[in-house]
Structure 1
Amino acid sequence: MAPDGTGVASQLAVCAPALIVTAVAFLALATGAGMAYLPLLAVGPALAAATCRPCGVLGTGILAVTLGTALGTRGDAPAGEQAILLSALVAVTLASSLASALRERRERILAAVRSVAEAAQHALLKPVPATVGQFQVAVRYSAAAAEARIGGDLYALLPTPYGVRMIVGDVRGKGLPAVSTAALVVGVFREAAYDEPDLLDVVARIERSLSRNLGADDFVTAVVVGHFRSGYMEVVNCGHAPPLLVRDSTVTAVEPARPAPPLGLGALTGETPSLQVLPFTDGDQLLLYTDGVTEARNERREFFPLIEGVARHASDEPSRTLAALADELLAHVGGSLHDDAALLLVRKPSTTDATPVPAMDEPLLQSVAAR
């Protein structure tokens, strides 16, 4: 198998310092300049500090000193001047070797930190299988912070005794405090989703936990969804962007019937979230997302048209839909997102016998109103 482009570039970077030293020596011999080119030999060890291990730096330095000595014997410069230039070359080599050793140490520390971040990602944002319960599922997540694996956006989806339940949320702020809050929300959701038959009680437990742990100015916007009976979804929206329902090639925003404050602010406003019941049958899809997607701007400061994008790329495979949508999003912003972004898409597979979309019956409406 042919080496990939990254491997070839790495090999060239390692060999470049020795090639530079050799090229300088050849140029000095070809022009007959002798000592004039001797200071340029220090470029090799200095460059090797950024690309080679300490032993490689020393090897490049020994090559430079050897060739420099040979050049000095061919020139007519005083011996004292030659000694000074060669001593400077040795000093550069030793300093570059030390710099290389420090760089290797930092790289080992960074690798350890990345492994911890990877473990934290799997603990906080566990990989979602392609099928959960009776649904096809796909997830796309991107953290805005450089080199980060996790950020202030969160998601979770799991089967429970009360059906499949899921959450997508966005923590106010960024950095480690936002990650800590996201971990708290996901942890409470996973416990409450298994324990509480009522989806509103799941949201209430998250609210109580946040009220004890968040600062006065902190909050979390979130959408909590549950599949409580065949043909329907429950949706509780706490100040979050409305989910998108994809049905028969039509994309519709599921706006909350009664707006509710974000999680963590319930005690300040005195308002409680409301529960919506959404007909959801074979072939239907529901997309949950964060504002890092909808507020992504292009060079003309235009927001990303999510509804139009979903309509263009909707397919029978959620993973393919999100892959195409993510590619379009990155193209829209020029290749780099400036905010955390999460996308979670669930689809109810179609069967050979088409199931009609159920109507909202009166007893169901009464039970929802009572809750």
Structure 2
Amino acid sequence: MLFRVRTHLLRSRRGGPLSPESRAGIGAALVLLALVSVVELADGRKANYVGLLAAAPFLAAAFANWRVVLGVGSASTLVGAGFALAGQMISVATVVNLTGIVLATGIAARVAAIRQGQAERIAELSRLASVAQQAVLRPLGPQVGTLAVAGHYISSTAAADIGGDLYEAVDTPYGVRMLIGDVRGKGLDAVRLASIVLGSYRHVAYERADLRAIVADLDRAVARSVGDEDFVTAALVEERGGTLTIVNCGHPAPLLLRRGEVITLEPPATAPPLGFMPVVQPRVERLEPGDRLLLFTDGLGEARRDGEFFPIADRAWRLLGHGTVADGLASLETALVEWVHGRLDDDIALVLMEYAGPRPASGPAVPSWEVGAAEH
């Protein structure tokens, strides 16, 4: 009998094989049906325990859709009726138990329908969040100007793929310019502010010759959009003819990977985040072919297990110095997730770029802040 019930249930859903969740619900219900059947057979001809079969559709409702629940409830009713008819007489208690199975099936099917509707709404919200992420954080690379570039966002929340970390890379008349930032706070307000910063940057990066002017523009955009205690840490990077210029607004310093060494590019002087009127001093480096630069948000530096922080500076070259830049970020994420045992406390934005060598210059190969100074 149980084999026929299982076959009926597995064929009850239209349009293809059952989902793993539905199979789990059917499996749990079949286990209960088998246990009750064993107890009834061992107890004799009286149907004393068929009332327990009312739990089967509720077990299925925890995993499966309402159609599967109705199938499980029908099977439970048939099994209960079979034991009742096999007895010498059908008592009032047996009729009540069978009626209870039917009522339980109806209630469980309704519960399953509500749960399924909620799951579909959550899935739709997840899809909308993915669309929003793609609109806010556009895919980077694999090539921006002459630089190989890859960006990656690691969310600390499994149910959400987007937060307040941000990045962008654009090829402008002043060279390839990259931005990475981290909005204070979480949730929709952080996403909104991140979109404001990125929208402003995507405009002014093409208009301003001086990175310090871009910082001023972004600072005003943040100040207009947040309260007194909100801010955005950010680092802006420009590559022009092999010259690297970095301005830093309270953000973790980028890491330069060169010939097996890792160099932390600390700013000449500290500056507050965007929103607090930062006055930045550029740091200028001359790039060599094969150099790689890692930009990251503080979630990477703060990732830890048992109080020990992830040793990014010690592992950077081994993880990021080989393969493509996208391969490097994939290796970094794998090592990071393994380090924290899959539990991150903060979102992480990563950008990795590689300098292959100079391209024919259309202008002077000097940092943008010198170009801006010359214009004045």
Q: CA deviation at 1:368?
A: 8.2
Q: CA deviation at 1:160?
A: 1.7
Take 1:230 and 1:7, find their aligned partners in 2: how far apart are those partners? Answer: 58
Q: Does residue 261 of the first structure (1) align with residue 272 of the second (2)? A: yes
SS of 1:189 mapped into structure 2: helix
* Other-structure match for 2:12: none
* Other-structure match for 1:291: 298
Deviations 1:66-93 (A, max 9, x none): 1111212334676211121112211211
* Other-structure match for 1:208: 220
Take 2:327 and 2:369, find their aligned partners in 1: how far apart are those partners? Answer: 39
Q: Does residue 236 of the first structure (1) align with residue 237 of the second (2)? A: no
Q: Does residue 172 of the first structure (1) align with residue 178 of the second (2)? A: no
Q: CA deviation at 1:335?
A: 1.3
Unaligned runs of 5+ in 1: 1-5, 352-360
Q: CA deviation at 1:145?
A: 2.8
Q: Does residue 157 of the first structure (1) align with residue 169 of the second (2)? A: yes
Take 2:72 and 2:245, find their aligned partners in 1: how far apart are those partners? Answer: 67
Structure 1 pair 165–364 and aligned structure 2 pair: CA distance change class (3 A): closer
Q: CA deviation at 1:54?
A: 1.4
Take 1:10 and 1:220, find their aligned partners in 2: how far apart are those partners? Answer: 42
Q: Does residue 340 of the first structure (1) align with residue 347 of the second (2)? A: yes
Take 1:7 and 1:98, find their aligned partners in 2: how far apart are those partners? Answer: 19
Take 2:148 and 2:217, find their aligned partners in 1: how far apart are those partners? Answer: 28
Deviations 1:209-261 (A, max 9, x none): 1111110000010101112x211111110000000011111101000001111
* Other-structure match for 1:357: none
Pick from 317, 322, 326: which aligns with 1:311? 317
Take 2:189 and 2:156, find their aligned partners in 1: how far apart are those partners? Answer: 15
Unaligned runs of 5+ in 2: 1-16, 359-364
Q: Does residue 119 of the first structure (1) align with residue 126 of the second (2)? A: no
Calculate percent identity across the aligned residue pairs: 37
Pick from 104, 114, 126: which aligns with 1:92? 104
Structure 1 pair 98–141 and aligned structure 2 pair: CA distance change class (3 A): same
Q: CA deviation at 1:110?
A: 1.2
Q: Does residue 349 of the first structure (1) align with residue 360 of the second (2)? A: no
Take 1:63 and 1:8, find their aligned partners in 2: how far apart are those partners? Answer: 19
Q: CA deviation at 1:17?
A: 4.7
TM-score, structure 2 as length reference = 0.86
Equivalent position amino acid for 2:72 in 1: T
Take 2:18 and 2:335, find their aligned partners in 1: how far apart are those partners? Answer: 29
Structure 1 pair 166–42 and aligned structure 2 pair: CA distance change class (3 A): same
Structure 1 pair 7–221 and aligned structure 2 pair: CA distance change class (3 A): farther
* Other-structure match for 1:272: 279
Root mean square deviation, CA, Å: 2.5
Structure 1 pair 194–350 and aligned structure 2 pair: CA distance change class (3 A): closer
Q: Residues 59-98 of structure 1: matches in 2 within 5 Å? A: 59-75=71-87, 79-98=91-110
Structure 1 pair 196–367 and aligned structure 2 pair: CA distance change class (3 A): closer
